[in-house]
Amino acid sequence: MSSEFRVAEFYSGIGGMHFSLKEAGIESEVVRAFDINTVANEVYKHNFPGVPVMQRSIESLPMSLFEALRADLWTMSPPCQPYTRQGLQKGSEDQRAKSFLFIIDLLARVQRKPTYILMENVAGFEKSDTRALFLRQLVRVGYRFEEYLLNPLQLCYPNSRTRYYLLAKLDAEPRECPDDIEFPAKFRHDVPGANLIPPASDAEGHVDFEKGVWHHDEVRQVKEFMQDLSTEESAPYRLNPRVLEKHGYVHDVVTPESRRTCCFTKGYTHYAEGTGSILQLEGTVGKDDMTLENTRYFTPREVANLMGFPAEFTLPENTSIRQGYRLLGNSLSVSIVSVLMDYLVRRM
């Protein structure tokens, strides 16, 4: 790897890919970050003030800018809404897929192509037409690639966040690839050299990451990721009694001794079901036992910890609690991506 290893970070968000580079110990220069979210960009610049951030639609930028990047690695976490299980799953027909389709096309047109690509998205992307378009282009341009479905539980982080990952390296011969060719659904659930806990699978091959770690005591406990908050500091995170009364039965309740939390989404605290776990600090775990005094939301810092963000990651003081949850819900698992980054650049 060159000492001048250059990285372009598309859909940079709050810097999850950048922190993953650092966690992987890859000496590099992020030459430019791209994102259209104003609040996310402020967080990114707060943590990485030396990186120029481009706040414009990727598809509106001139070819000369992409050529000038001369990046060895492109990282990207495109909008997930076209592929989520809760959404309409319109794939490439969704307007929010437009910028990623532009990047797919860009790979054929740009002269200085990246040697490496790392792409992350929600579980569900692997069933989309956009995946097929992306893989066809990689074959045509001369990339070999590997696809993964991974969960931080496999790295002993007590947070369930299954995501699709693609790693690509420019070291194959460009080949013709017809528009109607389909790619088999073969996804890896381990990373060479990373010692991930394997998921469970049934006779039909359906994978269950959580069942795979049920009997693994090495998965760390939630309390390792918690802040030591005073009564006053924890006050903003206590559940409203009306929320407990109305929605307590749908919350996923965990304790400091638990070894699993649900995936935290941008809707955390706004919606009760399927947006992340709540924390019961004392007493037994049961829907009828929860009280306002001992049950609270995880803080943004705790969510960041569970996602593998290092201690040096911080939110600007003017970032609201609600904004923090939304930004983290749209981000990625640094714990998983750093392992993939290390493998992609050093061993793939």
Residues noted as catalytic: 80
Give 5-36 as a DSSP string: -EEEEET-TTSHHHHHHHHTT---EEEEEE--
**Residue for token pair 């947070």:** 159
Strand partners, 207: 201
What tokens appear for 163 in the block? Answer: 């995501």
- One-letter amino acid at 274 equals G
Q: Report angle CA 34, 40, 45 to the nearest 5 degrees.
A: 75
**Residue for token pair 């904004």:** 323
Antiparallel, parallel or unpaired: β 278-280 and 253-254:
parallel
In contact, 125 and 87? CB cutoff 8 Å: no
Give Cα 172 to chain centroid, integer Å: 28
